[in-house]
Structure 1
Amino acid sequence: MTSATTAAAYDDLLGRARAGHLGPDPASLRIAVAFTTRQAVRHDGRGTAYRNEVLSLRLAEAVGSCAVEPGALPDSAVEECVGADVARLLDHPLPAVRVAALDAYLMHIAPHTPEYGAEPVHLPTGTSLEKSRARARAVVELLELPTGATVLVVGVVNSLLEALRSRGLGYVPCDLKGGATEWDEAVVTDALAAAGRCDALLVSGMTLGNGTFEALRRHAQQHGKQLVMFAQTGSAVLPRLLGHGVSAVCAEPYPFFWLDGGAGTIHRYRAGCTEGGLR
């Protein structure tokens, strides 16, 4: 991404999209399909389970998504999005709708292709756990850290923790729900409070929707720390923040790896990569 196509902060990016400074007038584009995906999973061999709920919006060939806490999204949200123009949804009172609309808009004008700075990574066929581990390896490879460094992991995914262990990296697991990891490690709930004792940050895109992302981005920027995002939420949004606190993104647009056992593709971005064509 170049300076002309990136933004200094999420709100800056949202404002530029609303004003039509990044591409077509969002008032001229309408959402054809809106849907939610709800999932519960316990991988074979794992003792813990988790749930996901994701709002997705279809704009032409693009699908933008934002994960929410299960049960937090009102049923009316989907109906409100169908047929609405993107400009209206970028001003929606629900943060999840704004994120999903911005994600769909940006993916529509700049899809995940090498032309726009994306490095495709193949995910093989396999069980849910095999695919989870393959994605985790691709994410953790974006961290450039010496053995023994400590990573704040915001949005606990046990496969990511496992991949960090295999690299000889320590971690502090963090999630708003608290609890414990697969290895009975305590999960902290205040990411910013824990960030100071960590050398780098590995953060879920879900933080865009729950309002915790910007504080972490500013911390990484102010302290010169790597901030690597793994993004099903906002997969097309977060690459626009490269070089402004975000050092790398593993972008995973819908359909996500956990939806089926077939092969798939995720897309990695790094700050400083060359791109073309974006305005």
Structure 2
Amino acid sequence: MSPEPGSLDELAAVVADGAAGDAIAHAEVSVGFLTQQGVRHAGRERGYRNHVLSLRVEDAVGSCAVEPGALTDELVVDCAGAPVRELLRHDEIAVRIAALDAYLMWRRPHREHAEQVVVQRGTSLQKSLQRAESVVSLLPPGVRRVLVIGVVNSLLQRLRERGIDYLPCDRKGGETEWGEPIGTAAMSEVDGCDAVLASGMVAGTGTFPPLLEHCRRTGKPLALFAQTGSAALPWFIGSGVTAVSAEPYPFFWLDGGPTAIYRYSTAPQEDVR
């Protein structure tokens, strides 16, 4: 294993060479699928949509969020039966990340290495707020201003309730539920915050490498809430990443019943169960 990979592609390269076990030599994807979701929680003014590529390796499913329409049905179906090692070098970054995520989740299951937190049954908003409480609790004490990359209004609500100032950033721009402008250039804002809370989607946008380098250099806390790359991003814990809220498929928004997330951290964790 490279001592400090700077991106998921660098991690994928060493995994392809056997850094996470020689099972990579025969591992194959058995199922590929695309989940498309639209939501507007009751009582909220704004909605959002998600498209997620998921690949299955043995008993594990890895995922990567994509822009709507970015992947063809043929590309997704072609992943089924393909060797993982081959997909780790695929031209499409979402395929590389989903394959890496699935393989690492198979070889290093969350349940064996992280604290499980159950998001209890409820409405879509209730479950969103439960998850947000668990994610926000991964920030260290004393944080005053957080750069939030990948705007989720429930996370912002929980930060507001704790009296923590934040700068919201998202490639789509727009406004938060409270009419606050959403920036689109995260790295131009990072110096003005004393912690970062970022979606796992940064792994597929090019934001993760400079963000990781900044946090390694400055020691600034970096907590990730990850559906994309949930089993891959914990490999950066202690090497620029301080905490990960890892949420494997099926995600909380797919089921009204109990669902699980897993918390990785370099520090003692607040009990939110």
TM-score band by shorter chain is over 0.9
For residues 41 and 69 of structure 1, the distance between their equivalents in structure 2, rounded to whole angstroms, comes to: 16
For residues 158 and 5 of structure 1, the distance between their equivalents in structure 2, rounded to whole angstroms, comes to: 36
Asked whether the equivalents of residues 46 and 177 of structure 2 are also in contact (C-alpha less than 8 Å), the reply is yes
Asked whether the equivalents of residues 5 and 240 of structure 1 are also in contact (C-alpha less than 8 Å), the reply is no
Equivalent position of 1:101 in the other structure: 99
Alpha-carbon deviations, 1:74-106, whole Å to 9, x = none?
A: 332202201101011000000000000000010
2:213 to 218, 229, 244: 218
Tell me how far 1:7 sits from its aligned partner: 4.3
Letter in structure 2 aligned against 1:9: G
3-state SS of 1:196 partner: helix
Letter in structure 1 aligned against 2:98: A
Equivalent position of 1:178 in the other structure: 173
For residues 198 and 231 of structure 1, the distance between their equivalents in structure 2, rounded to whole angstroms, comes to: 21
Alpha-carbon deviations, 1:37-82, whole Å to 9, x = none?
A: 0000000000001000000001110000000111222332202201
Alpha-carbon deviations, 1:120-163, whole Å to 9, x = none?
A: 1111000000000000000000001326x110000000000001
**Which has the higher mean CA deviation after the structures are superposed, 23-32 or 258-267?**
23-32
For residues 200 and 76 of structure 1, the distance between their equivalents in structure 2, rounded to whole angstroms, comes to: 41
3-state SS of 1:58 partner: strand
Change (3 A) 1:5 1:230: farther
Equivalent position of 1:127 in the other structure: 123
Q: How high is the TM-score relative to the length of structure 2? A: 0.94
Aligned residues: percent identity? 54
Tell me how far 1:272 sits from its aligned partner: 6.6
Equivalent position of 1:145 in the other structure: 141
3-state SS of 1:173 partner: strand
Equivalent position of 1:78 in the other structure: 76
Q: How high is the TM-score relative to the length of structure 1? A: 0.92
Equivalent position of 2:5 in the other structure: 8
Asked whether the equivalents of residues 7 and 240 of structure 1 are also in contact (C-alpha less than 8 Å), the reply is no
Letter in structure 2 aligned against 1:168: G
For residues 235 and 37 of structure 2, the distance between their equivalents in structure 1, rounded to whole angstroms, comes to: 28
Tell me how far 1:221 sits from its aligned partner: 1.3
Asked whether the equivalents of residues 95 and 210 of structure 1 are also in contact (C-alpha less than 8 Å), the reply is no
Letter in structure 1 aligned against 2:49: R
Asked whether the equivalents of residues 2 and 14 of structure 2 are also in contact (C-alpha less than 8 Å), the reply is no
Letter in structure 2 aligned against 1:169: I
Equivalent position of 2:271 in the other structure: none
Tell me how far 1:243 sits from its aligned partner: 1.0
Letter in structure 2 aligned against 1:124: Q
Letter in structure 2 aligned against 1:195: V
3-state SS of 2:182 partner: coil
Give the aligned length.
267
3-state SS of 2:22 partner: coil
Q: Which has the higher contact order (CA 8 A, sep 6+)?
A: 1
Letter in structure 2 aligned against 1:192: M
Letter in structure 2 aligned against 1:139: V
Asked whether the equivalents of residues 151 and 202 of structure 1 are also in contact (C-alpha less than 8 Å), the reply is yes
Alpha-carbon deviations, 1:2-61, whole Å to 9, x = none?
A: xx7974322332121110121134241111100000000000000001000000001110
Which stretches in structure 1 are left out of the alignment for 5+ residues?
274-279
3-state SS of 1:153 partner: strand
Equivalent position of 1:136 in the other structure: 132
Tell me how far 1:271 sits from its aligned partner: 2.3
For residues 239 and 65 of structure 2, the distance between their equivalents in structure 1, rounded to whole angstroms, comes to: 23
Equivalent position of 2:110 in the other structure: 112
Equivalent position of 1:35 in the other structure: 33
Q: Are 1:206 and 2:201 matched, yes or no?
A: yes
